[in-house]
Amino acid sequence: MTRLWREGGKGNRPTVNDISPRMGKILHLVRAQGFVSIEALAERFKVTPQTVRRDINALCDQDLLRRYHGGAGLPSSVENAPYGARQVMNLTEKSAIAYELAKHIPNRASLFINIGTTTEAVAQALLQHEGLRIITNNLNVASILSGNPDFEVILAGGVVRSRDRGIVGEATIDLIRQFKVDYGIIGISCVEEDGTLLDYDYREVRVAQAIIGNSRKVILVADHSKFNRTAMVRLGHISQVDMLITDKRPLASMVKLLADGAVELAVAGR
């Protein structure tokens, strides 16, 4: 069962809201189709429309869906889900992706690691390596990796986003461009059906683009929920990365795009 942090309760302190298996299936359907009507959901799950509305309201409270007349659709393309919710969404899948990635990183390698909850899972998975040199614009990643005294962690300067402790701006890009590293590890918010990589913050995207341009091998880490979502800012195309690590095999059309772009696919746990 997926557990999501939610603001509420006495003194507006965070409480935990459990997402039921049915709600998880509703979320998956909406992400796959873009919009699903209340009537269709009630018929599919053999429940009343009132039950579906309650499920949808709970998912909307977590900013995972958006209510529309007669149904539910994807949340805004201009704003990501809250960081606290993303931290615990698909946590098992992100961990599996991270440990799969760790198999592909040798000791004494140099890395870029960007902003995101999946890349934070990657940082945890890399802690047993030796002699890594890491440049990151993620305060959380830097905090995790600095726990290994054998690592050298270089933290990019710039503007710190209070919502997720990511660092962005021209100073961040300037520092990234001073290095040429073995591996650039990037997360992403959305991968569209045509392979377009999308995110929500223009400044964050510019840093990711600099990482792609200054890495000998680029590895994209993205769980299955990132496919066919929508966001506003174009980062690039899936063909610009060398490897995709995910938790479920993508649709055949995406597998073909990967093959056409000579992008290696690794599915965690396979």
Identify the burial level of 15 via C-beta atoms within 10 angstroms of its C-beta, where 0-12 means exposed, 13-18 middle and 19 or more buried.
exposed
The size of the chain, in residues, is 270
Residue with tokens 């995406």: 254
**Any idea which residue has 């592909």 for tokens?**
104
pLDDT for the residue 79: 52
Give the containing element (helix H, strand E) for 209. helix 202-213
How far apart, in whole angstroms, are the C-alpha atoms of residue 185 and residue 196?
17
Residue 58: strand, helix, or coil: helix
Q: In a 3-state reduction of DSSP, which class is residue 107?
A: coil
Q: How far apart are alpha carbons 169 and 131 in whole angstroms? A: 29
- Cα dist from 98 to 94, 101, 126, 226, whole Å: 6, 5, 8, 15
pLDDT in tens, the chain (270 residues): 333 333 333 333 333 345 788 998 898 788 766 678 898 899 999 999 999 999 999 888 876 787 877 888 776 554 555 555 555 566 888 999 999 999 999 999 999 999 888 999 999 999 999 999 999 999 999 999 999 999 999 999 999 988 788 899 999 999 999 999 999 999 998 899 899 999 988 999 999 999 999 999 999 999 988 886 778 899 999 999 999 999 999 999 999 999 999 999 999 987
What gap in Å lies between CA 26 and CA 32, rounded to an integer?
10
Query: What is the rounded (10 degree) CA torsion for 29, 88, 247, 254?
Result: 50
Q: How many helices (H) and strands (E) does the chain have?
A: 10, 17
Provide the pLDDT for residue 4: 39
d(CA 173, CA 194): 27
CA 23 to the chain's CA centroid? 20
Give the pair of three-digit tokens for residue 206: 């510019």
pLDDT at position 68, please?
74
**Residue of 211, 201, 221 lying closest to 264 (CA atoms):** 221
User: What is the DSSP code (8-state) at residue 118?
Assistant: H
How high is the pLDDT of residue 34? 66
CA distance 201 to 235: 10
